[in-house]
Structure 1
Amino acid sequence: MGEKNVFGVVVLVMAYGLAVTTFITAQVPALIPSTCNGYEPLLFQCVPYLVIDSSNPPTARCCDGARVGFQRANNYEAIINLCSCLVNVAPYLNFALANLVSLPAACNIPLSFSMDQCIYG
């Protein structure tokens, strides 16, 4: 009888976790401003490096996404959009600003602008 209760609680916790995860995933696009259009690979593929642990190098998938995002910043307006995007979403996605600044160097991506100025102004 006790095993049934434990199993019921486990199922309930799993269902709650799924509901919360689905809700959060559905809400993330609403937090992303229009200046971020096209920079989604940079934003989402680098979450483990930008949020969780920057002591490890970024993954190849992160660097691919970062490369796509940084290549889009190929003129003054696009650079302003990228910087605005990163500064605006960093608090909502819990990005560490220092990790954002170090990302291009960590992925060996040369930039035509300063990430330090982009993030810190």
Structure 2
Amino acid sequence: MMMERRVVGLLLSVMILSLLDGTSKASQINDITCGQAGKLTLPCLPFLQGITTIQPSASCCSGAKSVAQRASSTQNRRALCQCFKKISQTININPDRSKLLPKLCNVNLPFDLDPKIDCNSIPF
């Protein structure tokens, strides 16, 4: 039963990211689309959902660092925030884990993966 939920969650995530990638060509995050950013951080999903151990995987941290490095301007970071806000609204993410991810991966993200976040009010 637990394995089935993981597989369904993973398939749902891939479908959502594909949709976002197809609809976000105009809102580029530097040279990366919302869907590309989501795909890079897809390995973080088990950690963010609380399926895996307390540590995110190396591939999760690598993807998160790559995305954070590509979003260097205020406009790009806000677009990235909106991107992940959309994803977090459709995928059940543990809010405590989303707050831990930047610290555990040593990534400078000035926002949490929170479906209620106001990306326009975040000081970048």
TM-score (norm 2): 0.62
Does the C-alpha gap of structure 1 residues 27 and 53 become closer, same or farther in structure 2, counting only changes over 3 Å? Answer: closer
How far apart, in 1, do the equivalents of 2:99 and 2:13 lie?
A: 25
The offset of 1:89, in angstroms, is 0.9
The offset of 1:51, in angstroms, is 1.1
Query: Which 4+ runs in 1 deviate beyond 6 A?
Result: none
How far apart, in 1, do the equivalents of 2:99 and 2:14 lie?
A: 28
The offset of 1:61, in angstroms, is 0.9
How far apart, in 2, do the equivalents of 1:25 and 1:95 lie?
A: 11
Task: Give the fraction of aligned pairs with identical amino acids, expressed as a percent.
Answer: 26
Indicate the residue corresponding to 1:114 in structure 2: 110
Work out the number of aligned pairs and report it. Answer: 99
Q: Does 1:27 align with 2:15?
A: yes
Q: Which runs of 5+ in 1 are unaligned?
A: 1-16
How far apart, in 2, do the equivalents of 1:25 and 1:53 lie?
A: 14
Larger radius of gyration: 1
Q: Which runs of 5+ in 2 are unaligned?
A: 28-33, 119-124
CA contact (8 A) 1:90 1:96 kept: no
> Helix, strand or coil: the match of 1:52?
coil
How far apart, in 2, do the equivalents of 1:26 and 1:108 lie?
A: 25
CA contact (8 A) 1:38 1:72 kept: no
Q: Which amino acid aligns with 2:19?
A: A
How far apart, in 1, do the equivalents of 2:62 and 2:97 lie?
A: 16
The offset of 1:114, in angstroms, is 2.0
CA contact (8 A) 1:49 1:56 kept: yes
Higher helix share: 1
TM-score (norm 1): 0.64
